Amino acid sequence: MPRIVAQRSVMLTAGIDLSADPKKTGVATLEWTDDGATVTGIEVGRTGRAGPVVEVYPAAALKLWGLPHQGYKGREPANARRRAALVQLIGCVLPWLQLGEYADLCIQTDDALDAVLCAAIAGLARRGETDEIPTEHLAAAAVEGWIALPVRR
């Protein structure tokens, strides 16, 4: 299923093209939420505005915050150095996010850093600190899903 509205929103807001890579479009997430709702009976709204699930995109958030959003993934020492710098910069953008002993884990693996970013962005969404879905896109977002992008800081 093409996600035209979500892709266009990320492109216009963060300047990141999601159309070329199916992994980045959230198709797997949509399938998981459908399967999960069937198994658990928990209703998952695709807009992320209600219910227990919100779709986020760490690289887009980093870019919107003016932080490096590429080159931090991978096992090479250069990637770890970029993650170390990112951990410091994220602390400046989100001073309430205290990584403490987990900062080292975020430097060691991009999965840990992305997990922390996802949780932080989801928290921002719950506090109303992500872009609103434009009224004209609400119906499409209810079908396609919506990627919550932080309000620019």
Residue 142 belongs to a domain: yes
Residue 153 belongs to a domain: no
Q: How far is CA 132 from CA 11, 85, 103, 104, in A?
A: 16, 30, 31, 34
Residue 70 belongs to a domain: yes
Give the pLDDT confidence of 49-86 residue by residue, as tens digits: 777 788 899 999 999 999 999 999 999 999 999 999 99
Question: Can you tell me the distance from the alpha carbon of 128 to that of 13, in angstroms, rounded to the nearest whole number?
Answer: 17
Give the pLDDT confidence of 24-53 residue by residue, as tens digits: 555 555 565 555 566 667 777 777 777 778
pLDDT of residue 39: 61
CA angle, 144 then 148 then 152, to 5°: 140
Angle between helices 110-126 and 77-93 (to 10 degrees): 20
Are 62 and 92 spatial neighbours (Cβ–Cβ below 8 Å)? no
Range of the domain at 98: 4-148
